[in-house]
Structure 1
Amino acid sequence: MKLKASLALAFGLAAGLANAAPTELVIATVNNGHMIEMQKLGKNFEQANPDIKLKWVTLEEGVLRQRVTTDIATKGGQFDVMTIGMYETPIWGKKGWLQELKTDAAYDVDDLLPAMRNGLSVDGKLYAAPFYGESSMLMYRKDLADKVGVTVPDRPTWVQIKDLAAKIHDPKNGVYGICLRGKPGWGDNMAFLSTLVNTYGGQWFDMSWKPQLESKPWNDAITFYVDLLKNYGPPGSSANSFNEILALTNAGKCGMWIDATIAASFVSDPKQSKVADKMAFAQAPTAVTPKGANWLWAWSLAIPAGSKKVDAAQKFVNWATSKEYIQLVGKTNGWAAVPTGTRKSTYANADFQKAAKFAAAEKMAIDSANPNDSTLPKSPYVGVQFAAIPEFQAIGIAVGQQMSSALAGKTSVEAALKAGQTAAEREMKKAGYYK
């Protein structure tokens, strides 16, 4: 009897251990193609780690930002892994809201592109791992440029871009010289316009944190932009964002487009684009200075400081941002579909180079973007197309609305910049940056 009892007890303990509930990781992410693919491939992670179960909360970009910001600021603990960007990471890392990431030798942190690693670090410590990264660049119809006898250089100027836009603009035949973002938002029209202002020699704030919207570089940049789109852009540009312009470009209606490098894989994909074989790529245009002419962004995975499941979360973050994950996507979906902009090894891969004709231009753009030195005059903030301070969201939204109004012809450039300056000063004074 004793033997039976002890066997039953031993069996019961073993069964109990076998049936121990797996750790559930709640992952907040954005509803774009690369992340949806990560969810599908998540089963591979679960098979390799049967003690971890993944639960996905997939949200539209604006909603995601709100939810994760509220959760982390209130220590809500809803999420174990968050998808955040290069704007949030340095702010939250500095505040102690994020777990420092621990990577092992197999992860090869030195393989991360320096621009990505630096943009997601605070004082040399990595607080988010890049899932995919991007800069901005010029995507253009080479057939149209050839037709008018223009060779686009690898590093064009805005003057050259305007000249080409004038030559290829043919609205009667449904082709517009250039398409650019106009929809208001700090991460929308202002992401592009900040880079334009940078290259015109401007900045958001001077070293005393005084907003600079009524300065000459801002006036020159915004005047140029409004004239350019008024003369050579599609109608309704003030409502166009990434997705609208992507659709226009894929339909063959945009002669040129300056936007996120991630778009290159879509516009050169014959399944999506009518002009895939006609597209060519170059660096974002420059004006007075090359500084800050092209932005830098990474959608990244981070672990909130208060997480009770750090080890499991760290395991998942390491897997989803690893070389092996990129190989898995390459094998599963083809090398043109891999998340780009994060690792040196991706760009060194012959299969990737063959599949992605934009690879060299994309890597050059990312390598040249420096969030710690993105303006001609010295600036007190980190960031290329944003200033990494909590107040910037509100300022960027207010200014973005004014710029969109100027583009729509509802207000003058001067009046829009004056209103933007007033809004920015109010926010900065309220936050105590200056009196």
Structure 2
Amino acid sequence: MSSSKLREIKVFYAPAPLKTFCRYTPPIDLGLQNMSIFLYYRKRELGVDRSFLRRYHASAIFHRIRIQPDVSQREIIERTGFDKSTVSSIVNEFIEQGLVERRAKVSASGRGRPSEGLIIAPGSGLLVGVEVEANELIFVACGLDGAVLAERVLPFDGQLAGVETVIAHGVDDLVQMAGSEARVLGIGVSLPGLVDMDGALVHVPALGWRNVDILDRLTQACTAPVYVGNDGQATAMAENMFGACVDLENFIYMFSGSGVGGGLFLDGTIYKGAGGLAGELGHIKIVPQGRFCTCGAAGCLSAYLSDSALIEEISRLGQNRPASFEHIIDMAGAGDPIVLNVLDHAGEVLGSAISSLINIFNPPLVLLGGDLATAAPYLSGAVDKALRRLAHPAMYKAGIVKFAEPGVGGPRLSGIALALDGVTHAAGSQILP
């Protein structure tokens, strides 16, 4: 290896329980007793970046307090494997900054001296999430603990011109609705298309947007730091932060709506791929030379499972054209044989796609959300049959595929997940000590 390449590699020694040192660089375990070597790539001199390591510790401790209110310092030490002095020092800094509070908690038996638990301090900061859809903008305001303080839905004409101003004004109005005097620490904007590592929007088929530096435009329009991302990746993050996948290190999330998307949550983080574009599950090829997709290719899952694809297929086979996805569900509930047949076929196609994901990634859970969750009663039987036929028997078992609870968790908090990840990320945190 050349000396120039060597200068880009840092070697860290850390306790074995520290499973992931850098969010995007998995550890390489060389079998040293109670030690692991972590490679962290930076264009700096060889040496230990202690400030990054401390922010990593702080991020892990903050999220443990967030997802486990009233957790004790001892429990944090046991859960993370960090040493006592590190946990104590960081917790004290959080308290001094007003991010965390101690409060007494009584044992379940009510006996003995009350112990102290840690919680995210109310009013310690605001996060705003924005979910961009084809015909609406969904705004959500939360505290740092993820508690929803205000929500608002605005109609959207899909026009790119001036969208940053519309979003900025919507954020300001929502903050007033929330009635909190806390500072807005971050704004997360979830977009239904390809977003690269630099925050540039590559393509949004549902809106016809291409090659837009959306992060730069939003940053100029908004007064708080802005974080942007793909809606599938962001929703998978939200499920891990707030929803059905808290504390899971590996799972796959898939949803449907105007299109089909998802996210791959692997080894404790969202997998973004080389350019940040990974997780386009709607473009898994299901039928060779099949229906054309909005991406320009043929045979994509989205061409068979998106809301518009279902509407078109029902219209082709029957006399009544559904007005919306909700209308499809109403027709299915009324026992319409054509609709039930179309949804059954959609379940087979979905099961085929999921079987490929199971065979490749061997996940402990595949979570299905969005309109897939709403249609669960009409999809689940066909999905299960396809999985039993196509998934490798060593990797598939009952319960590995679950439908999310409709209208709960991930999708509405996708922007919040981007904002929370941004303000607590060890590589560029706005709030960590």
> TM bucket by the smaller chain?
under 0.3
Query: More relative contact order in 1 or in 2 (CA 8 Å, sep 6+)?
Result: 1
> Normalising to structure 1: TM-score of the pair?
0.27
Higher strand share: 2
Higher helix share: 1
Q: Tell me the TM-score normalised to structure 2 length.
A: 0.27
